[in-house]
Amino acid sequence: MLSAEPHAVGTRVVVQGKRGPEVATVRGEASTPSDNGRYGTVLRAAGPEDLARWDDLFRQGEDLKWLLRARARERRLPVKIVAVEFTLDESLVTISYSAEDRIELGSLIADLRNHTRARVNFAAVGPREQAQMIGTLGACGRENCSSNHLQEFAPVSIRMARDQQLPLNPEKLSGPCGRLLCCLQYEHTQYLELLGDLPRKNARVCHEGSGACGKVTKLHPLTGTVDVHTEQGMLLGVPAAELRRMPDAPQGKGKNAEA
């Protein structure tokens, strides 16, 4: 039976996970209602028996994770066992792993049969999924977004960093997983809107107030200003609204970041 009542933030609930029932913690109100049968649907508030069983399954999964890691080392299997997770009804146990190449892990199933009768599912995971499961701190000093609230990973590109005028430093743009920061996508749409009101970088412009003309060297979308290197060798920071484009300036809006 689905739970019809909303639950307060911090409440432990039983939800329909991707693989079966799981215990989760309410972190906020749902932005859109879940469809019946879709994963993420709240089935009920978690009772004492649910919580005790979930904690027991978590400890069992941790023990099996270390067991499988030891067995993999003994067999010299080039694989990293990331997590072992049970569904609340213990009908399925998922072994999340990472490996450089395709690998056969059927030999590990025999090691599990003495400890559980659950159906075994192997799931290859990438760096982002590993960070989500293990849990790390982000550059902001808070828990990484993937472990906190993200349900799915949206595509992130280096173009987003360029549009936000960020220095293209891999160390500063990468998260603990080694991939581009998920948060680069959060405000990207707003940056594109702001950039639409600015001239292109390298466009030739003139300042209406001073009459100085030159080339745009840097954009500041949050303040609506640009830096202009004038023909006299000066560097001016001026509002974009006070500029007029010279005849040879590139036309068009919405693609103002440096390519």
pTM: 0.65
Q: What does the DSSP assignment read for 82-115?
A: EEEEE-TTSSEEEEEEE-SS----GGGHHHHTTT
Alpha-carbon gap, residue 238 to 48, rounded angstroms = 63
Q: Is pLDDT at 155 greater than 80 in this prediction?
A: yes
Query: Which amino acid, one-letter code, is at 34?
Result: S
Predicted pLDDT of residue 7: 82
Q: What pLDDT was estimated at residue 178?
A: 82
Task: Please give the C-alpha separations between residue 109 and each of 88, 116, 236, in angstroms, as whole numbers.
Answer: 20, 10, 68
In 3-state terms, what secondary structure has residue 133? Answer: helix
Residue 41: predicted pLDDT: 86
pLDDT at 100: 86
The mean pLDDT value of the chain amounts to 85
Asked if the model's pLDDT at residue 251 lies above 50, the reply is no
pLDDT in tens, 73-132: 999 999 999 999 999 999 999 999 998 888 888 888 888 888 998 999 999 988 888 887
Strands 225-230 and 213-220: antiparallel
pLDDT at site 252: 46
pLDDT beyond 60 at 250? no
Q: How confident is the model at residue 54 (pLDDT cuts 50, 70, 90)?
A: very high
What's the CA gap between 255 and 259, in Å, rounded?
9
Residue 93 structure tokens: 């146990």
**Residue type for position 154:** A
Distance CA 96, CA 193 (A): 40
Q: Under a CB-based contact definition with an 8 Å cutoff, are residues 43 and 21 in contact? A: yes
pLDDT value at residue 38: 63
93: left (phi over 0), alpha (psi -120 to 50) or beta: beta
Q: What percent of the chain has pLDDT over 90?
A: 43
User: Alpha helix locations (H) across the chain?
Assistant: 48-74, 109-112, 127-134, 145-148, 158-163, 170-173, 188-195
Which pair of tokens denotes residue 124?
A: 């290859």
CA atoms of 93 and 118, how far apart (whole Å): 6
In degrees, to the nearest 5, what angle opens at C-alpha 86 toward C-alphas 4 and 78?
140
pLDDT at 15 over 70: yes
What pLDDT band is residue 32 in, cutting at 50, 70 and 90?
low
CA distance 51 to 46: 6
Taken in order 164, 165, 166, 168, the sign of the CA dihedral is positive
Cα separation, 221 vs 230, in Å, equals 20
Residue 253 has pLDDT above 50, yes or no: no
193-247 tens-digit pLDDT: 999 989 988 999 998 888 889 999 999 999 999 999 998 888 989 999 999 888 7
The band of 254, judged by pLDDT with boundaries at 50, 70 and 90, is very low
Q: What is the pLDDT of residue 259?
A: 42
Q: Which residue has the higher pLDDT, 170 or 258?
A: 170
CB 143, CB 135: distance < 8 Å: yes
